[in-house]
């Protein structure tokens, strides 16, 4: 495959995984979880550095994922102690981030250690870093990693579809039906953490945060059905990846930046044009016999 194709495929995988996970983040009103994790991974990579004394490589990915899991668990735990969800996110990520900053300036010294270089990947150079897998052959490492992540996400969403649905919309009902709500919460947060950190490692922070939130928020404007929302959200993620790449090629700029920008455009179009909640639909409604009636605010 060409370099361009690999980049688009990888970005599309990010769009799909993040789009699916993002739907539940939006429904559970925990949209900024990815942003929180993007800060706490600092602690993970600092500890990974202290253990291995390397500033890049797979140890950083493992450290990042562990930090993501710790974040997810602490947030969920604080929330279960009746701290508001957004507040518990804010508390956990600032505290863990601060510990990372303190560790860097006390025990790491002057090493070139920052999240940007140690963990965050760069989508532009994905095609040049390949590994050879059995059956598939030569494939960029990031693409292989994201393929696995996507399959894991897809598996868990399909396997527990009913449980996700009920716990997301009505936790009390779920509990009364005997669904282990807490376990589902922790499982979901682990899924979020693995998806975000693996995507950070492959394509960088800005694009992941955008892909997690914006396509799902756009899909929510088009439908109230969970299944439709999941499909739309994944689709918007892919569309943004493709459109973003060509915008980057057109004005020769940062690829991940323009993909994140494209998600914003998809949202804007949805916000204006969606039939249910869009701006336009508030003014234009089809009349009784299919004629368009302009509704004017008085």
192 close to 246: Cβ distance less than 8 angstroms: no
**Binding flag, residue 4, another protein (CB under 8 A):** yes
Q: Which is nearer to another protein, 111 or 183 (CB)?
A: 111
Q: Least Å distance between CB 270 and another protein?
A: 8
The partner residues of 138 in beta bridges, in order of sequence, read 132
Residue 28 phi, psi (nearest 5): -90, 5
Binding letters toward another protein, positions 122-161, x by CB under 8 A? x-xx-xxxx-------------------------------
Q: Least Å distance between CB 55 and another protein?
A: 5
**Binding flag, residue 2, another protein (CB under 8 A):** yes
**Binding flag, residue 70, another protein (CB under 8 A):** no
List the interface residues with another protein, window 223-252 (CB under 8 A).
223, 239, 242-243, 245-250, 252
Q: Which residues of 122-148 are buried (b: 16+ CB within 10 A; e: fewer)?
A: bbeebbeebeeeeeeeebbbbbbbbbe
Helix boundaries (H) for the chain: 3-27, 33-52, 58-80, 85-103, 115-118, 141-159, 161-169, 171-176, 181-203, 205-222, 226-251, 255-273, 279-283
Q: Which stretch binds another protein (CB under 8 A): 15-23, 30-38, 89-97, 267-275?
A: 267-275
Q: Least Å distance between CB 87 and another protein?
A: 26
24 close to 213: Cβ distance less than 8 angstroms: no
Q: Which stretch binds another protein (CB under 8 A): 1-9, 32-40, 178-186, 290-298?
A: 1-9
**Binding flag, residue 202, another protein (CB under 8 A):** no
List the interface residues with another protein, window 21-60 (CB under 8 A).
55-57
Q: Which is nearer to another protein, 111 or 158 (CB)?
A: 111
- Pull the structure tokens for residue 245: 């790449």
Q: Least Å distance between CB 114 and another protein?
A: 4
231 close to 216: Cβ distance less than 8 angstroms: no
**Binding flag, residue 86, another protein (CB under 8 A):** no
The partner residues of 292 in beta bridges, in order of sequence, read 286
- Pull the structure tokens for residue 298: 């008085």
89 close to 32: Cβ distance less than 8 angstroms: yes
- Pull the structure tokens for residue 101: 């900053």
Contacts with another protein by CB under 8 A: the residue count is: 51
Q: Least Å distance between CB 4 and another protein?
A: 6
The partner residues of 293 in beta bridges, in order of sequence, read 285
**Binding flag, residue 20, another protein (CB under 8 A):** no
DSSP secondary-structure letter at 135?
A: T
Q: Which stretch binds another protein (CB under 8 A): 23-31, 99-107, 153-161, 207-215?
A: 99-107
Q: Which is nearer to another protein, 113 or 153 (CB)?
A: 113
Q: Report DSSP letters for 188-239, one per residue.
A: HHHHHHHHHHHHHHHH-HHHHHHHHHHHHHHHHHH-S-HHHHHHHHHHHHHH
Residues in contact with another protein by CB under 8 A are 2-4, 7, 55-57, 101, 104-105, 108-114, 116-118, 120-122, 124-125, 127-130, 222-223, 239, 242-243, 245-250, 252-255, 257, 269, 273-276, 286
């Amino acid at each position: 495959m060409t370099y361009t194709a690999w980049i688009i495929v990888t970005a599309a995988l990010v769009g799909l995984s993040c789009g699916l996970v993002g739907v539940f983040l939006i429904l559970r009103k925990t949209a900024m979880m990815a942003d929180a994790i993007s800060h706490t991974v600092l602690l993970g990579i600092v500890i990974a550095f202290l253990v291995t004394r390397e500033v890049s490589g797979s140890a950083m990915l493992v450290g990042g994922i562990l930090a993501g899991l710790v974040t997810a668990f602490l947030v969920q735990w604080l929330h279960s102690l009746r701290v508001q969800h957004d507040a518990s996110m804010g508390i956990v990520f600032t505290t863990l981030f601060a510990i990372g900053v303190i560790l860097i300036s006390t025990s790491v010294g002057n090493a070139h250690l920052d999240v940007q270089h140690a963990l965050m990947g760069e989508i532009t150079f994905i095609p040049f870093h390949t590994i050879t897998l059995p059956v598939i052959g030569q494939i960029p490492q990031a693409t292989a990693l994201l393929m696995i992540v996507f399959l894991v996400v897809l598996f868990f969403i399909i396997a527990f579809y009913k449980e996700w649905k009920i716990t997301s919309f009505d936790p009390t009902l779920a509990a009364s039906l005997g669904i282990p709500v807490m376990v589902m919460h922790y499982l979901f947060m682990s899924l979020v953490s693995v998806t975000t950190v693996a995507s950070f490692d492959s394509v960088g922070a800005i694009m992941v945060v955008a892909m997690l939130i914006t396509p799902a928020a756009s899909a929510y404007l088009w439908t109230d059905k969970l299944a439709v929302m999941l499909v739309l959200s994944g689709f918007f993620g892919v569309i943004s990846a493709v459109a973003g790449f060509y915008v980057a090629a057109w004005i020769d700029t940062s690829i991940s930046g323009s993909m994140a920008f494209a998600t914003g455009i998809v949202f804007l179009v949805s916000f204006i044009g969606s039939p249910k909640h869009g701006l336009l639909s508030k003014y234009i409604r089809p009349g009784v016999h299919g004629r368009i009636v302009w509704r004017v605010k008085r």
